[in-house]
Amino acid sequence: MTLEIARAAYADSPAAPDTAFVSLRRRLLRNKLSLVALCAIVLLVFIAVLAPWITPLDPNEPDANAVLQQPSRAHLLGTDVYGRDELSRIIFAARVDLLVAFVSTFLALLIGSLIGAISGFRGGWLDQIVMRIVDAVMAFPPFVLAMGLTAAIGSSITNLILVIAVTQIPVYLRQIRAEILRERELEYAQAAQTVGNPTWRIVFIHLVPNCLAPLIVQATLAMGFALLTLAALSYIGLGVQPPDPEWGEMVSEGASLMVTGHWWLSLFPGIAILVTVLIFNLVGDGLRDLLDPRMRGR
């Protein structure tokens, strides 16, 4: 009896605070679609890493006897003008596409939050200069800036990563700066300052960890954008150069054959882009629900 009353009394009170991990897992489960998408990313990474072992054929091996074949049992997604197997090329392309998307986003997040945090915390002339530079960079639509920069410095994989990172840095920089400005006025930040912590310690040990949640959401969504940028650059001939397979480059190779009815050459790599970006966006949306309660249900 007493036990039941106690149970009833406690029923409404909040349960013992979950550890971060338990809470994360529970909320992830609630958002099943995002969970599926997260698994899909892991799967994609596996496919990319294992590409040489799982592709049916060599992606760059021409076959004069199998030119421009429709999807069939021998070539599940057909072959291109050189008789190369489309499926193998799409699988191999995942390597460069995912690599550029991941690394450029991570780089932008790292550099953007580093500069943004310092600039926001220090304030003053430094902040003014940084923000004016950011304004100038953001005046360019990201893809157009990427186009100009890639044309200028050349389109190696390293350069593509750098260029896509540069177009994304201002986004994180602004975001973390706004967070830092709010966070540094809070009591714990003031306390950390009062007891004499060095500036770098306050910023990077105390403040930055509390500002990261929205940035991580942004980064997940930005991966899709990075992938779209890379694909579009390759489409106009600036990105990954043939014969290396890349999804945008593959769509481009098939483009002129679309009007003659060879639909499979552009369709499948485009679907690969679409699905991958979709997956990134779904995970990003799920993370937003999870980490940023203000945006929930949007």
Partner 1 sequence: MSFLFFVVRRLALLVPTLFGVSVIGFLLTCLLPGNPALVKAGPMATPQYVAEMKHKMGLDQPLHVQYGRYVTGLLHGDLGESSSTGRPVLTDFMQRLPATLELTVASLLLALLLGIPMGVLCAIHRDTVIDHFGRVFSVAGVAMPSFWTGLILIYVFFYLLDIAPAPLGRLAPGISPPVTITGLYTVDSLVGGDWHALESSLAHLALPSLTLAISVMAPLARIVRAGMLEILETDYIKAAWAFGLPRGLVIYGDALGNAIIPMITALGVVFGFLMAGNAVIESVFGWPGIGNYAVKALILKDSAPIQSFVLFVALVCILVNLLVDLLYGLADPRVRTG
When binding is defined by CB under 8 A, the residue of 282, 283, 287, 290 that contacts partner 1 is 282
Are the beta carbons of 140 and 130 closer than 8 angstroms?
A: no
Q: Which stretch binds partner 1 (CB under 8 A): 10-18, 53-61, 142-150, 208-216?
A: 142-150
Is residue 125 a contact point for partner 1 (CB under 8 A)? no
What is the four-CA torsion angle of 100, 106, 112, 115, rounded to 10 degrees? Answer: -120
What mask, x for binding partner 1 by CB under 8 A, covers residues 180 to 219?
A: ----------------------------------------
Q: Which of 158, 155, 38, 146 is closest to 104 using CA atoms?
A: 158
Kindly state the smallest distance separating residue 228's Cβ from partner 1, in Å. 6
Give helix 86-122 / helix 264-291 axis angle, nearest 10°. 30
66 is a site residue for partner 1 (CB under 8 A): no
Q: Does 71 bind partner 1 (CB under 8 A)?
A: no
Of 135, 119, 128, 296, residue with least CA distance to 207 = 119
Q: Does residue 206 contact residue 192 with C-beta atoms inside 8 Å?
A: yes
From the CB of residue 82, how many other CB atoms can be counted at a distance below 10 Å?
A: 15
**Contact predicate 229/167, CB 8 Å:** yes
Determine which residue in the list 116, 142, 170, 239 makes contact with partner 1, applying CB under 8 A.
142
103 in Cβ contact with 109 (< 8 Å):
no
Spell out a b/e string for 205-240, using b for 16 or more CB atoms within 10 Å of the CB, else e: ebbbeebebbbbbbbbbbbbbbbbbbbbbbbeebbb
| Interface stretch with partner 1, choices 12-20, 89-97, 105-113, 127-135 (CB under 8 A) | 127-135
294 binds partner 1 (CB under 8 A): no
Cβ proximity to partner 1: between 123 and 141 the closer is: 141
Residue 277 interacts with partner 1 (CB under 8 A): yes or no? yes
Q: Is 237 in the site for partner 1 (CB under 8 A)?
A: yes
User: For residues 224 and 44, what is the distance between their CA atoms, to the nearest angstrom?
Assistant: 14
Q: Evaluate whether 215 touches 172 at the Cβ level (below 8 Å).
A: yes
- Span interacting with partner 1, options 42-50, 63-71, 168-176, 244-252, rule CB under 8 A: 244-252
Asked if residue 148 binds partner 1 (CB under 8 A), the reply is yes
**Is residue 123 a contact point for partner 1 (CB under 8 A)?**
no
Q: Which is nearer to partner 1, 51 or 221 (CB)?
A: 221
Rounded Cα–Cα distance for residues 17 and 210 (Å): 18
* CB of 57 or CB of 269, closer to partner 1: 269
Per CB under 8 A, residues contacting partner 1 are 132-133, 135-137, 139-145, 147-149, 151-154, 224, 228, 231-232, 235-238, 248, 251-252, 254-255, 258-261, 263, 266-267, 270, 273-275, 277-278, 281-282, 298
